[in-house]
Chain A
Amino acid sequence: MKAEYTITVYTENHIGLLNRIAIMFSRRKINIESLNTSPSEVNGIHRFTIVVNETEEVVRKIVSQIEKQVEVLKAFYNTDNEIVWQELALYKVPTDEIAEKVKVERLLREYGARAVVIRKDYTIFEATGHREETEKLLEVLAPYGLIEFVRSARVAILKASSGFHDKLMELEMEANIESI
């Protein structure tokens, strides 16, 4: 049964690694719903957050293939229950519409959106939340002359994780263990 899985990959920060990871999905005709790369809690180590809609079997196999890559330190996958995640969305709306229509302002407040830029011609709001939340705001704003919309990839943090510092120490230690 297909479900939404969030794959987390800790990697070295090297050119070409994004491609190496991305082609592992395309080779298997797996659609990437969302992909984010960012620094991690450890200096110099990158963190990929990849969302796919697949069966656990498929996800398990691709994660073990990803972890096999030389420059990947660690890869694992989680269900939505095991993570806390957010996406960020930006909405550009005509300023006069907002000024004139009290309802719009109320809507934005209701969805926890805040203005990041206010100009005479347009205002840009940002909202963070789950896909459904930012999606819903998009729907309700549509009748009011939405000019532009963009949404970021998912970023996710594990509920049960003590971070990567300890794991990295372990990996770096192995060099010494072998030579002793």
Chain B
Amino acid sequence: MSLAKNDTVLQESTVEYDTQLSGSSAVLEAFLAEGVDTIFGYPGGAIMPIYDALYDYQDKLQHILVRHEQGGIHAAQGYARTSGKVGVVFATSGPGATNLVTGLADAMIDSTPLVCITGQVFSHLLGTDAFQETDVINITTPVTKWNYQVTDANEIPEVLAKAFYIAESGRPGPVLIDITKNAQLQKFDYKRYTKCKHIRSYRPKPIVRKEYVEAAAQLINEAKKPFVLFGQGIILGKAENEFKTFIEKGGLPAACTLLGLSALPTEHPLHVGMLGMHGNYGPNVLTNECDVLIAIGMRFDDRVTGLLSKYAKQAKIVHLDIDPSEINKNVKADVGVWGDCKDTLPLLTSLINENVHTAWIQKFYDYRQQEIDAVITNELHPKGDKMTMGEVIHQLNELTHGNAIVVTDVGQHQMVTCRYAKFNDTKSNITSGGLGTMGFALPAAIGAKFGALHRTVVAVIGDGGFQMTLQELGTIMQNDIDVKILILNNQFLGMVRQWQELFHERRYSFTDIKSPDYIMLAKSYGIAAQKVEARENLVAALATMLQHKGSFLLEVMVGRENNVFPMVPQGCSVSEIRLR
């Protein structure tokens, strides 16, 4: 019985071949077997055999020529995050490979599944300082979940199968496979491609221990003031429904991390906001008032916890995570539940009592009202002449109704967008969270569009971050990619300037940044563009952008010295969050 089933599984996931195949073609066959449809890449000397093979696969594999390898890997990240599939990247050896490092680090810390293929010099040249040779494996070891150098084509099917399996299973992450040129050229007897399902040294999902689920349920059932924190683990585990059922049954108020955004619709009555340095008032303050804190698929980043020694000390901590090393890493858990939340949440839900915590949830609403009065109203409906980032996002919400994918860069505009953007659907918030990579948004939005072709993709970017990767406008031009680019221009590196204002006596050291004429720039790439300087033109311009067929760049001039509040100052406890 089990054998027969095994056979079926094997047949479904294999491509039979009986011929000689080059290492390069084997890479592309592996992609087809893994269901890859889009590759982001940039050719070069050491990866030319793979590009040569790709020439014959153009009807099956779409290749997007980016303008810089960093753009390629960020695009693959965007693709992975909106599609839920593995993002795939090609880069050549040497500088091509080193240009991937930022994206790898970003994908590593934000758990994004990627398979990056880098070309490498001929294996007999390894270690000789050959042209465009660099020690890619050792450079990328700390920023990859796994990496491997292939010097013999015979290894390619198995290594690629492992690469995809490792990238997407368990806690996802980036994998880099470095393939020497001789291995790409080498012909070998290609038997078939078998998907990898098990590696003996690798346990993607820890075994769920029922006694811990029971202990967690007991704490939740006894809690008077339970509070749920949810992270990207819900999205990565495809457990949005399981999560919703869980909080609804228990009547549990829930707040998200930056990357947990969109896992639960923004308007859900139990969604009480965002955590963190620029998160919402209630969730931060009440972290230090709840009696049971239930953290799901999140890792207690320092931007979420503030001062650890004053973080939720009064509460019992329940921590659900697929990665055992996250439990007890930053915050000591009273009950750690190892496992995929897709598995653990239904178990937990079945054990918790139906409940409502009306008075407790009302506290979140009360704090929300205070935040509305002190911060949000001024931000979304400002009385001053200058536009605020918040009102732009508010108007965007009104027009998209929360149905768009919103990609953000890093800085003030990111915090404002994540605070105010409305999300109805999962996988709609794409941002660089852990690494905080400026320049992420434009290329990530390109990939995000390929990962969700039927959806509107809006990239909200600051004037600083946009100038870091604006070369990708070329990629948008060449491939007619329908990405809406919304530049919020405050003519400053705003977040650093905000800190300089608050903590460095307004010594604005090198944060005053000039921009080119973005409208002319966009036009030179054949991209429609508009600039808005006055509030009365904002809504119409946003509507024009959204209704435009194809890519569109909208630059909105906003107040120069606006600050993002609330704010938990560095080194302070979450309950010391400042409203102004």
Contact = CB atoms under 8 A, between A and B. Distances in A.
Nearest to B199: A70
B200 A171 contact: yes
B479 interface: no
Nearest to A15: B149
Contacts of B202: 70-71
B324 A70 contact: no
Contact of B141 (A20, A61, A65, A176): A20
A168 B145 CA distance: 22
Given A64-B324, A179-B6, A73 B201 contact: yes
Interface in A4-60: 11-12, 15-16, 19-20, 23, 27, 60
Given A16-B147, A67-B325, A179-B9, A174 B198 contact: yes
Nearest to A173: B200
Interface string B323-341: 1110011000000000000
Nearest to B9: A179
A72 B201 contact: yes
A68 interface: yes
Main SS at interface, chain A: helix
A175 interface: yes
B5 A179 contact: yes
A172 interface: yes
Contacts of B145: 70
Contact of B198 (A23, A73, A168, A178): A178
Most chain B CB atoms below 10 A, which of A11, A67, A68, A174: A68
Given A64-B325, A65-B325, A70-B146, A12 B201 contact: yes
Contacts of A60: 328
Nearest to B204: A70
A174 B197 CA distance: 10
A180 interface: yes
B203 interface: yes
Contact of A175 (B138, B166, B198): B198
Contact of B200 (A20, A23, A65, A172): A172
Most chain A CB atoms below 10 A, which of B2, B9, B203, B323: B203
A16 B200 contact: no
Main SS at interface, chain B: mixed
A73 B203 CA distance: 9
A18 to B, nearest CB: 11
A64 B535 CA distance: 53
Contacts of A178: 197-198
A16 B198 CA distance: 21
Nearest to B201: A73
Contacts of B141: 16, 19-20, 23
Interface in A123-180: 168, 171-172, 174-176, 178-180
A70 B201 contact: yes
A118 to B, nearest CB: 40
Contacts of B146: 70-71
A68 to B, nearest CB: 5
Given A16-B137, A179-B5, A174 B203 contact: yes
A51 B148 CA distance: 27
A72 B203 CA distance: 10
A175 B197 contact: yes
Interface string B11-42: 00000000000000000000000000000000
A48 B569 CA distance: 43
B382 interface: no
Nearest to A68: B325
Nearest to B137: A16
B95 interface: no
Contacts of B137: 16
Interface in B278-332: 323-325, 328-329
B197 A61 contact: no
Given A16-B137, A16-B147, A61-B329, A171 B142 contact: no
A61 B328 CA distance: 8
A9 to B, nearest CB: 11
A171 B201 contact: yes
A45 to B, nearest CB: 9
Given A64-B324, A67-B325, A180 B2 contact: yes
Given A20-B141, A180-B2, A68 B201 contact: no
Contacts of A176: 2
Contacts of B149: 15-16
A129 B141 CA distance: 36
Contacts of A12: 201
A51 B202 CA distance: 24
B530 to A, nearest CB: 47
A68 B198 contact: no
A74 B149 CA distance: 24
Contacts of A16: 137-138, 141, 147-149
B138 A68 contact: no
A71 B201 contact: yes
Contacts of A65: 325
Contacts of A27: 142
Contacts of B148: 16
A65 B145 CA distance: 12
Interface string B125-144: 00000000000011001100
Contacts of B328: 60-61
A19 B201 contact: no
Contacts of A71: 146, 201-202
Contacts of A175: 197-198, 200
Given A23-B141, A70-B145, A11 B324 contact: no
A20 B139 CA distance: 11
Contacts of A168: 200
Given A179-B2, A179-B5, 4 more contacts: A64-B329, A70-B166, A171-B200, A175-B200
Interface of B: 2, 5-6, 9, 137-138, 141-142, 145-149, 166, 197-203, 323-325, 328-329
8 residue pairs, one from A and one from B, having the closest CB atoms: A175-B198, A64-B325, A73-B201, A70-B146, A180-B2, A70-B202, A171-B200, A68-B325
7 contacts: A20-B141, A61-B325, A70-B199, A70-B202, A71-B201, A174-B200, A174-B203
